[in-house]
Amino acid sequence: MGISLHWLRCPFCGGSFSASGGDQHVGESDYDVLTCYCGHYPVVAGIPILKRDTTGTLDKVIALIEAGRHREALFALVAPTSPALAPTWIRSLPAATWSRRLKRLMHQRVLRSWQERAEVLLTDQDGRGTACDLFDFYFRNRNVYNYFAFRFGQPRHLVALSFISTIHQTKKPILDLACGAGHITYHLVQQAKGQPVIGVDELFFELYVAKHWFAPEAKYICCAADTSLPFPDGTFSVAFCSDAFHYFVSKATSIRELKRLTQDDGLIMLVTVRNMLVKNRRGGGLKLPPEGYQALVADMPHRCVANSAVLDRYLQKYGPPLARSAGREALAHEPHLSLVAAHDQEVFQDYGPFVNWPHAEGHLSLNPLYAVERREGSGNVCLRRTFPSAIYEEEHAECKEYLPETVEIQSEILADLAQGKRTPEVKKLIEQYVVLGMPERYRWRGW
């Protein structure tokens, strides 16, 4: 079942929606058009797109949906429109008329080839494609690809899992704000114990991957994350935002919305925000100092802690330290911080040991940072920690503190892992963070 229309309101006029297909749940029909007082909005592949559009793309998508051309509507949203797909030598030609024509023709040819490959991957009729196949195909920037493809092995991901572990017995849905491709959504679904999880992001392609490859149990809305959100007051028990809030332009508006949506009995978690006081040439976003983030929730009980402290406790199998905020001097030197705000004082405690490792929930597979090297004739394999790039290694240097550089194991252990067996040897690899729980279709089973 999709998202009930009673859960949604227009983020621009505040009005309720009606669906052209007459369904009361968005997603019962994967392609539809929603109407409110101020406009019309498409539903593509079960994902409502509640955005203003100055390019005409959404009008085109709506026309395709109304004409029953659903596959074309999908590709209109995910296909690149700039000549950037064309080879570099074509793009470097001078601006003469004949070269402009050549660029246009080359772009059209490459775009047709791109669309043919995209159709195979996005429709995935044989069920063999993986999320990483899509990332590899879609993201031409390898730094962006590395962020998505290797995220489960990042220290910041373990920090997010630590905070997720504190969410218990929610009475209302959980919001994953700026959810991206669903890495965190996947774990929130595991923790929600049946409560709905709703992922919000402004990039349709990433939501499509989340819905079909990472966390199909969740619901998704495509809209801006840092402005008015399309939900009634008090919709959520938890608003969770990981590794994204420092990119928001309208932070004050976002916080006001999160307070409106969680009200007095809810919980706001801003996990991994970048610190303006720490210079990092790799770190982007519109950062604030620690006191700037805390000022946004000054009217609520809250805690601001250093990610390094949360990670240190996680490595000892303990939850986050939320009994008190870290001191001003300590926070000043931390590149990554996390902020938790709630009116329920029971939230603010130093959490004890995990019953089970949060990073072991779900389908077990090798940490994506490990490559398999086979030892000829010995029956053993060597798992070697590798980094996809020097930039990635610099940005996630904490990995070296807890991930062994090499691990020698018997080849049978890989077979046990592929079959989902949690043998003592597999459990040891979990304790070393060499084996992680991930969506089954994240990578090939034999990888």
Tokens, residue 136: 């590899």
CA-based nearest residue to 338, from 187, 174, 159, 148 = 159
What's the residue count for the chain? 447
Amino acid at 41: Y
Q: What's the CA gap between 47 and 53, in Å, rounded?
A: 16
Q: At what angle do helices 424-431 and 411-418 cross, to 10 degrees?
A: 90
* CB within 8 Å of 286: residues ≥ 6 apart: 246, 247, 248, 249, 251
B/e letters for 77-103, b = 16+ CB within 10 Å, e = fewer, are bbeeeebebbeeebeeeeeeeeeeeeb
| pLDDT at position 89 | 43
| pLDDT at position 97 | 59
| pLDDT at position 446 | 42
pLDDT tens by residue, 313-347: 999 999 999 999 999 999 999 999 999 999 999 99
pLDDT tens by residue, 130-151: 888 888 888 878 899 999 999 9
42 band by pLDDT with thresholds 50, 70 and 90? very high
Owner of token pair 């996630």: 396
% of the chain beyond a pLDDT of 90: 71
Q: What's the CA gap between 353 and 38, in Å, rounded?
A: 51
* 76-85, 152-161, 305-314, 435-444: least confidently modelled range: 76-85
Whether residues 8 and 102 share a domain: the answer is: no
Residue 368 contacts residue 153 (beta carbons within 8 Å): yes
* CB within 8 Å of 130: residues ≥ 6 apart: 213, 441, 442, 443, 444
Residue 175 contacts residue 198 (beta carbons within 8 Å): yes
Whether residues 289 and 426 share a domain: the answer is: no
The answer, yes or no, to whether residue 374 has pLDDT greater than 50, is yes
Whether residues 63 and 99 share a domain: the answer is: no
Number of H helices, E strands in the chain: 17, 18
Q: What's the CA gap between 155 and 148, in Å, rounded?
A: 14
| pLDDT at position 377 | 66
In a domain, 372, yes or no: yes
Whether residues 191 and 326 share a domain: the answer is: yes
| pTM as predicted | 0.91
Last residue within a domain, chosen from 287, 313, 347: 347
Whether residues 159 and 119 share a domain: the answer is: no
Residue 321 belongs to domain spanning: 154-347
* Chain mean pLDDT for the chain: 89
388 band by pLDDT with thresholds 50, 70 and 90? very high
| pLDDT at position 357 | 97
| pLDDT at position 4 | 78
Whether residues 197 and 256 share a domain: the answer is: yes
| Residue 267: DSSP 8-state | E
Last residue within a domain, chosen from 317, 347, 377: 347
CATH of the domain at 282: 3.40.50.150
The answer, yes or no, to whether residue 445 has pLDDT greater than 50, is no
Q: Between these two residues, 7 and 203, which has the higher pLDDT value?
A: 203
| pLDDT at position 360 | 95
Question: What integer is the mean pLDDT of 105-122?
Answer: 74
| pLDDT at position 100 | 67
pLDDT tens by residue, 141-188: 889 999 999 999 899 999 999 999 999 989 999 999 999 999 999 999
The answer, yes or no, to whether residue 82 has pLDDT greater than 50, is no
Owner of token pair 């700026």: 178
The total number of structural domains that make up the chain = 4
Residue 160 contacts residue 271 (beta carbons within 8 Å): yes
* CB within 8 Å of 189: residues ≥ 6 apart: 197, 215, 217, 218
pLDDT tens by residue, 252-302: 999 999 999 999 999 999 999 999 999 876 667 789 999 999 999 999 999
Whether residues 66 and 113 share a domain: the answer is: no
Alpha carbon 427 to chain centroid, angstroms? 27
